[in-house]
Amino acid sequence: MEKQILESAIPNTATQSDLVSTILPGLQSCPKYVPHWYVYDKLGSELFDRVTNENPHYHLYRVETSLLKEHTGSIIRNFDESSIFAELGAGNSSKMHSLIEAMLEKEGSLRFIPIDIAKEFLEESAKTLNEKFPSLNLQPFVGDYVDGMEYVKSLQGPKLFIFLGSSFSNIPMAQMLPFLQTVRNTLKGNRDRFLIGLDITREPEIVEEMYGHFTFADFNRNVLTRLNKDFRANFMQENFEHYANYHKNNDKDTKGLMVEDPEYIELGFRSKHRHTVSLDSVGTKIAFQEDEIFYTHVPGNMSMKWDWQQFEKLANLAGLVTDQLWTDPGNKFALGLLKADSK
């Protein structure tokens, strides 16, 4: 899969020309948007940690962490000391603790490769992991999912690729199947697996409470803070209100996207009135109309809400099959272990 299929991620060390070429086109398009990865600088990653810890409606972190702890033994059963665990979009890797601890107890060693675009945050998280697990062979990788998977694919040993937090659901629908095909192409050994966590809550009121909470609004607003810093812009927080809308698509909307009956959230800001923003570093002005929506992701789906059968159909098209599946008693979240189809 070509890197651009996944909104090619730009690390924090990006040059101004990198940012101009990747961010400015979305600001000048209709509708306006920035890619979702842009919110995850050091501050954005810290603010998202606050969402997971302080948002009472954000069940994803709590339920997924509980499932990981409960089923750790089953997840790691076929892995040994030569194995490699690689976490996509790792953040602080806090949900990995139960798997790491169990592998170190079982095998005495583990090579763990957290993959993330937020360089500073990844380095700080790695330091914390090293302090907690001194015997862990920790090798952080700064970059996007595709680059990270390609690197890990080249290494020797059974591999577990880990994609938690329903982060797969943030990939634009048109890119989901190509992404899963890339995952399939990384699973070369018989023991290689792909562990994915997906939100299976499809109740609009519950979902809108999750994303409408002030902690998520603060996280989302980091986009404006970062734009001001990166482009010497004058985005005023008071000119925008947080926007979170639950959306259902019909068949006409999703023709050719391979996702049946998708339900998802749309995130961004609503402009409160007509105003103009200056981006002084590039000599550009951006006009906003009253009630105009400015998306903090590629327009379309954000945080897709699934049922497992719906996701499984998509995974099967990519050549992946379910090896094991776990859900919580409330059926809010699914944790699936997938393998390459042997056909």
Q: Answer yes or no: is 152 within a domain.
A: yes
Residues 270 and 323 in one domain: no
Mean pLDDT, rounded, for 249-271: 78
Residues 192 and 225 in one domain: no
User: What is the rounded distance in angstroms from the CA atom of residue 226 to the CA atom of residue 207?
Assistant: 26
Residues 153 and 294 in one domain: no
**pTM reported for the whole predicted model:** 0.84
3-state class (DSSP) for residue 338: strand
Reply yes or no on whether the pLDDT at 250 is more than 70: no
Residues 294 and 320 in one domain: no
Residues 164 and 241 in one domain: no
pLDDT range class, residue 18, cuts 50, 70, 90: confident
Mean pLDDT, rounded, for 287-296: 97
Q: Answer yes or no: is 8 within a domain.
A: no
Residues 127 and 151 in one domain: yes
User: What is the per-residue pLDDT for 73?
Assistant: 96
Domain of 106, CATH number, reads 3.40.50.150
Q: Answer yes or no: is 11 within a domain.
A: no
Residues 316 and 285 in one domain: no
Residues 300 and 311 in one domain: no
pLDDT range class, residue 135, cuts 50, 70, 90: very high
pLDDT range class, residue 254, cuts 50, 70, 90: low
Residues 22 and 71 in one domain: no
Residue-by-residue DSSP string for 126-181:
HHHHHHH-TT-EE--EES-HHHHHHHHHTSSS-EEEEE-TTGGGGS-HHHHHHHHH
* Average confidence score pLDDT of the chain: 90
Residues 101 and 137 in one domain: yes
Mean pLDDT, rounded, for 156-163: 96
Reply yes or no on whether the pLDDT at 309 is more than 80: yes
Residues 220 and 246 in one domain: yes
Residues 169 and 269 in one domain: no
Reply yes or no on whether the pLDDT at 1 is more than 80: no
pLDDT range class, residue 342, cuts 50, 70, 90: confident
Mean pLDDT, rounded, for 111-135: 91
Q: Answer yes or no: is 142 within a domain.
A: yes
State which residues form the domain around 275.
17-54+206-304
Q: Answer yes or no: is 240 within a domain.
A: yes
Q: Answer yes or no: is 6 within a domain.
A: no
Structural domain count, the chain = 2
Q: What are 60-97's pLDDT values in tens digits?
A: 989 999 999 999 999 999 999 999 999 999 888 889 99
Reduced to 3 DSSP states, what percent helix, strand and coil does the chain have, rounded to the nearest 5? 45, 25, 35
